[in-house]
Amino acid sequence: MTTPDTTDRDLATFMAVARAVATEEAKHMPTTPAIERDAAALVMFTREQLAEARRAELAAQPSNVVSGAVRPSILAMVRDKVLARLNQVIAAEPSLQFAHRDFETASDDDLRSALEDALVVAGLPE
């Protein structure tokens, strides 16, 4: 009985052999400028199709673009409260990435903006 792993290995082996045979045959195949143009056109077409498929995949994914506006409740926070909330967000969402993690030297406006961005990207309430 074959398992998915066995089938995958068999397919990978077959594809490697088929590629090696095709490559060897291509080395000895006579070409013409017309064949080379057709091959180049096929490669270009395939690349365009793959790029279009990738763009469609990316368009279907939600975007984490943040508007840049900071809500009034965050603007009203004092520095210590902003730092505390940022640390809570980091603890709750350790995979979040920040351009700068040295929050102690950041300006109050930068801290508020970082908090707003983190909350929006993480999908957390204020």
Residue type, 91: A
Cα four-point dihedral sign 50, 52, 56, 59: positive
Asked whether residue 80 carries a pLDDT value surpassing 60, the answer given is: yes
Question: How much of the chain is helix, strand and coil, in % rounded to 5?
Answer: 70, 0, 30
Across the chain, mean pLDDT equals 87
**Where do the domains of the chain lie?**
33-60, 72-122
CB 84 within 8 A of CB 103: no
pLDDT tens-digit profile of 11-57? 999 999 999 999 999 888 888 999 889 989 999 999 999 999 999 98
- Alpha carbon distance 116, 74 (integer Å): 7
Give percent of the chain above pLDDT 90. 45
CB 94 within 8 A of CB 40: no
Backbone dihedral angles phi then psi of residue 98, each to the nearest 5 degrees = -120, 145
Has this prediction a pTM greater than 0.95? no
Q: How confident is the model at residue 58 (pLDDT cuts 50, 70, 90)?
A: confident
| 94 vs 53: which has the higher pLDDT | 53
Q: What is the pLDDT of residue 5?
A: 84
Q: In this structure, what token pair is assigned to residue 99?
A: 């351009």
Q: How confident is the model at residue 102 (pLDDT cuts 50, 70, 90)?
A: confident
